[in-house]
Chains A and B, each alone.
Chain A
Amino acid sequence: MSTKPKIGFYWCASCGGCEESVVDLAEDVLMVTGAVDIIFWPCAMDFKKADIEAMPDKSIVATLLNGAIRSSEQEEMAHLLRRKSQVLIAYGSCAHTGGIPSLANQFTREQIMKFVYEDAPTMVNDQKTHPQPHSRDNGHELEIPVLRNVVRALDQVVDVDYYIPGCPPTPKLLKEAVLALLSGKLPPKGTVLAPDHAVCQECLRNDSKPQDISLTEFKRPHEIIADPEKCLLAQGLACMGPATRGGCDAVCIKGNMPCTGCFGPVSRVHDHGAKILSYLASTAAGKEEDEISATLAGIPDPVGTFYRYGLAKCLLRGKVS
């Protein structure tokens, strides 16, 4: 039996982009596979849950779990992998802060089911059939996982050791994390494995930002052709860079798109959305309420904009009534 350290990958409520990001390691993936045994990776390899259950507790050195937790099955797998792993890493925005799936916390489960199975424009369902957790077919008892009322980040379900942020994380961060694991030089538990400064520090357009921008209008990316050299915020785009953890090398901004906040906040911030709000409102002009409202009208969906990757980690955790 191989003595190489055992590593697992798993996905919950996610788009699959995080899985792709592992492949984005390119030739470095060989370095990884050379150094570790991947014992569980449902996306790429045919291992079964029962195989994991059969393993002794803590026999996996590290599991990188991506995706938010929305269903009972995901919850169960999170518990299982937690038990079997020495180190559990929340990998990517969804596991880290709830990600895009947690925007669903603005709606009840019933609203979502009704929309998806009845009201969605692409849906034809005259019988108004909804999936049933328990059913009988051909004499068999069938069971599917239960959808939870709210979407959770991984650490809202099980204990998490480290976080690798990003939608998806960059190969660089993954490589550094794996190297740290292999070398055993791990930072204190709970650390986000990315720098603790904001994106602006890495942004090549930082110097082009004027000191006082006092915006009278916010624009959305499709409304302008952005100057590829200048600070996007100064051009009226609500860039989340100043309030978002760096480590991505400002990759979106290099693509002339504003930062949307996928790395989550820095460690000093308790509520990413509220902090984004505070900073963006501080750059707005106006002294009268009407004037201010008119300026801020360029941000049509504050919740969706400020908590795009982390409504689960909003201090309110979602829509509360």
Chain B
Amino acid sequence: MKTKTNGEARIGFYVCHCGTNIAGVVNVAAVAEYAGKLPGVVVSRDYKYMCSDPGQELIQTDIKEHNLNRVVVASCSPLLHEHTFRTACEKGGLNPFCFQMVNIREHDSWVHDPGDPATEKAKALVRAAVKRVALHKPLEVKRTRIHPDVLVVGGGIAGIQAALTLANGSQNVYLVEREPTIGGHMAKFDKTFPTLDCAACILTPKMSAVAAHPNIKLWTYSEVVKVDGFVGNYKVQVRRNPRYVNEELCVGCAKCVDACVYKEEKFEDEFNEGLAKRKPVYLPFPQATPPVVVFDPDACIQLKTGKCKKSCLEACDRDAIIFDQKPETKEIEVGTIILATGFRTFDAGRLPQYGYGTLPNVYTSLQIERMVNASGPTDGHIMLKDGSKPKAVGIIHCIGSRDNRTNRWCSRVCCMYSMKLAHLIKQHTGAEVFNFYIDIRAPGKGYEEFYEKLQEEGVHFIRGRVAEVADWPLTKEEEGKLIIRVEDTLAGFVRRIPVDMVVLATGLEPQPDAQEVRRLFNISCSTEGWFLERHPKLAPVSTFTDGIFIAGCCQGPKDIPDTVAQAGAAAGEALSLINAGFIELEPNTSYVVADDCSGCKTCIPLCPYNAISRDEEKKKAVINEAICKGCGVCVAACPSGSIVQNLFTDDEIFSEIEAVLG
């Protein structure tokens, strides 16, 4: 790499207008003029958009014409464009690390009012960067190899899509799913909006493709328990929970289920949202993938007490049942990880005024999905508890969404799935259907049209947040009905609408263990518990941890098209790393100056990555820069100032402190 850093600092300074984003608040001309007088600055300019091609060329030309050996750009956050400008410097023949960026947009113009204080702040930050950059040394970028295998966590539609995309691109994928089968929430749906195509028809082929794909290792009923390493080189431990069945042998014939000593189905069927029962040994649903039964250790007599006739064993002609199966931990190495851990639905019981769990015939939307599904617990019939068809159904939107007392966010899918259910209910029962909504949100392709179609079908839309689902009639007609009390905000009065069935459109929430999961993978969460993307627009599936990507509803509520698109994007990001074969790492690692080190060992236990060891012969500390991730904790602790962190040397930081203050 050609580097021009010899001799005195010759600094080029550039301040960006960012249209009016910066120039509307900070007096950029004054900043440029001020910077021009700072020691070492030989060129000082302001320009409309520094990140544009002409902006970058400006830097490159100046480097050559003015023989610059340092560059400072005052514009937006370095987290956004540091790379852009470093590359520009490099193209101009300068070592990319002889560059410093000043954040005068996110940290200045966007948070302060126009005027002198904002401009003074910009000058102070510029002063610090100019002083600091003179101390910068040319650095080499480190490269690390990317292990080509990928781990996908979560086997819902997001995980399935990501795994297939990668596997079809010839990568080895481990797909880990906590439940006994993949499919996630989508497997429970009947139809999908707005096209009304059958969820199973589009999902089942993908599930089979996962199971059959030679490049995919599918581990269901399994959980990631430990993650070590860093981008390109993750070491992951996966615990395979015992399902008491040999997966290789079982073909899902379900003879064991028939033979079980429990003749009745007695235990709550998770897949059918409590609307049906199952036995201690069961196949989650007919298309479960892998098609392997699972024993519920809390229900199976043999597993609970060891005293069962074990009629299932006899029934299995493949000897697939293993009652003493133990959890098994697999250790794998992967280069990248995609998290697609999904969501949970809001617990409607938290809002007692809507009667879920206390009033019969109040259902959640997911229960209706199961009911309307031909292979569901009612064989596709929408019925009341007494088996009759409802004549009037109320669908209440925003249960656990857009509500300060529960969740403030919009769950994005409820309006659309409520309309889909309204359509299906009307189609199946001919009932009058009322939608109670705050706002209808239908901002997708074909969504608004679907809303119009529903209105044409005669589905009622009443705007108002429902106060209560009441069972206290005031008139004869209300007797035996569920009465929806709501202020109709368009009509301007309070209404009582008697219906036979209430559907609660429950919102989406982060998984209850989202915090543990993100700690495991060392990524960030929003306060609500959604996984945080690196940038909402420019890096929507990346996280702050290199090599870990997110897809689907673990990042926030979204519908199937968006989820699938995101899963594809995450797979694409992983593929791009894999194809490159290596990743360039920020050279902000630390090293020990051996002559200075007294061998006191203070630093050794502080390193979270065990990158520091002691050279027993020389009695000095040594940092393995391949392992060092550049936090600098050892530098701060080193009692004799013998450790240096590249890009964050003591001298650089002291000079920043000094200059920022005046």
Q: Name A's B-contacting residues (CB within 8 A).
A: 196-201, 206-207, 209, 211-214, 241-243, 246, 265-266, 268-270, 275-276, 278-279, 282-283
Q: How far is the CA of A198 from the CA of B606 in the complex (A)?
A: 19
A268 pairs with B602, CB closer than 8 A: no
Given contacts A246-B598, A268-B596, 5 further A-B contacts (CB under 8 A): A200-B599, A242-B602, A269-B640, A278-B639, A279-B637
**Cβ–Cβ contact A276 & B598, under 8 A:** no
Question: Least Cβ distance of B295 to chain A in Å?
Answer: 41
B654 and A275: CB pair below 8 A?
no
A196–B593 CA distance with the chains assembled, in angstroms = 12
The 4 closest A-B pairs by CB, nearest first: A268-B641, A243-B639, A198-B598, A212-B605
Q: Mark B633-658, 1 if CB is under 8 A from A, else 0.
A: 00011111110000000100010000
- Taking the closest CB of chain A, its distance from the CB of B445, in whole angstroms, is 50
Partner of B654, one of A270, A276, A282: A270
A242 and B604 form a contact (CB under 8 A): no
> Are A214's CB and B599's CB within 8 A?
no
Q: How close is A114's CB to chain B, nearest CB, in angstroms?
A: 36
The answer to whether B619 has its CB under 8 Å from any CB of chain A is yes
Distance between Cα atoms of A306 and B641 in the complex (Å): 16
A283 CA to B639 CA in the complex, in Å? Answer: 11
Number of A-B pairs, beta carbon distance below 8 Å: 68
Cα of A269 to Cα of B635 in the assembled complex, Å = 12
* Contacting residue for A275 out of B598, B604, B606, B641, CB 8 A: B641
At the interface, yes or no: B518 with Cβ under 8 Å from chain A?
Answer: no
A268 to B597, CA, bound (A): 11
B614 contacts chain A at the CB level, 8 A cutoff: yes
On whether A282 and B637 interact (CB within 8 A), knowing A268-B642, A268-B650, A270-B654, the answer reads yes
Nearest residue (CB) in A for B638 is: A279
Are B604 and A241 in contact, with the CB atoms below 8 A?
no
Kindly list chain A residues whose C-beta atoms are within 8 Å of the C-beta of B654.
270
| With A243-B640, A275-B641, A278-B636 as contacts: A266 and B596 at CB distance below 8 Å | yes
Return A215 CB to nearest CB of chain B, in Å. Answer: 11
**A278–B641 alpha-carbon span in the complex (Å):** 11
Q: Does any Cβ of A come within 8 Å of B626's Cβ?
A: no
B residues 596-622 in Cβ contact with A at 8 Å: 596-602, 604-606, 614, 619
Q: Residues of A contacting B640 with CB < 8 Å?
A: 197-198, 242-243, 266, 268-269
Query: Could you tell me the distance in whole angstroms from the C-beta of A202 to the nearest C-beta in chain B?
Result: 8
Contact A242 B606 (CB under 8 A): no
Cross-chain contact A197 with B636 (CB below 8 angstroms):
no
A285 to chain B minimum Cβ distance, whole angstroms, is 10
Q: Once the chains bind, are B639 and A206 in contact (CB under 8 Å)? A: no
Query: How distant is the Cα of A242 from the Cα of B637 in the complex, in angstroms?
Result: 11
The answer to whether A283 and B641 touch (CB under 8 A), given A196-B596, A206-B619, A270-B654, is no
Tell me, rounded to whole Å, the shortest Cβ–Cβ distance linking B261 to chain A.
Answer: 51
In the bound assembly, the distance between CA atoms of A38 and B32 in angstroms comes to 60
CB-nearest residue of chain A relative to B633? A282
A196 to B641, CA, bound (A): 11
Q: Which residues of B contact A200 (CB under 8 A)?
A: 598-600
Which of A197, A198, A209 has the largest count of B CB atoms less than 10 A from its CB? A198
Task: Pick from B602, B605, B614: contact of A279, CB below 8 A.
Answer: B602
B597, B638, B640, B641 interface centre (most CB from chain A within 10 Å): B640
Contact in complex: B639, A242 (CB < 8 Å): yes
Residues of chain B lying within 8 A (CB to CB) of residue A242: 598, 600, 602, 639-640
Q: Which of A196, A211, A243, A268 contacts B604 (CB 8 A)?
A: A211
Interface string of B98-141 (1 = CB under 8 A from A): 00000000000000000000000000000000000000000000
Q: Enumerate B575-610 residues with CB–CB distance to A below 8 Å.
A: 595-602, 604-606
Q: Are A198 and B600 in contact (CB under 8 A)?
A: yes
- Pick the residue among B595, B601, B606 that contacts A209 (CB under 8 A): B601
Q: Kindly provide the distance from the CB of A294 to the nearest chain B CB, expressed in whole angstroms.
A: 20
Contact yes or no, B601 A211, CB < 8 A: yes
Q: Chain B residues with Cβ under 8 A from A283's Cβ?
A: 602
B634 to chain A: closest residue by CB = A282
- Distance between A169 CB and nearest chain B CB, rounded to angstroms: 20
B641: chain A residues within 8 A (beta carbon): 265-266, 268-269, 275
A211 touching B639 by the CB < 8 A rule? no
Complex interface: chain B residues within 8 A of A209 (CB) = 600-601
Interchain nearest-CB distance for A203 vs B (Å) = 8
Q: How far is the CA of A241 from the CA of B614 in the complex (A)?
A: 18
Cβ–Cβ < 8 Å partners of A270 in chain B? 650, 654
C-alpha gap A198/B642 in the complex (Å): 10
- How far in angstroms is the closest Cβ of chain B from A107? 28
Residues of A within 8 A of B650 (CB): 268, 270
CA distance A268 to B598 in the complex (A): 13
Contact A212:B604 (CB < 8 A) given known A206-B619, A275-B639? yes
Kindly state the separation between the CA atoms of A135 and B427 in the bound complex, as whole angstroms: 112
The CA of A196 and the CA of B594, in the complex, are separated in Å by: 12
Nearest CB on B from A243, distance (A):
3
Structural contact, B596 and A278, CB atoms closer than 8 A = no
Query: Does the CB pair A278–B605 fall under 8 Å?
Result: no
Contact B596 A276 (CB under 8 A): no
Complex Cα–Cα for A3 and B642 (A):
45
Within the complex, which residue of B595, B600, B638 is in contact with A241, where a contact is CB–CB below 8 Å? B600
Q: List 8 A-B contacts (CB under 8 A).
A: A209-B601, A211-B605, A242-B640, A246-B598, A268-B596, A270-B654, A278-B639, A279-B639
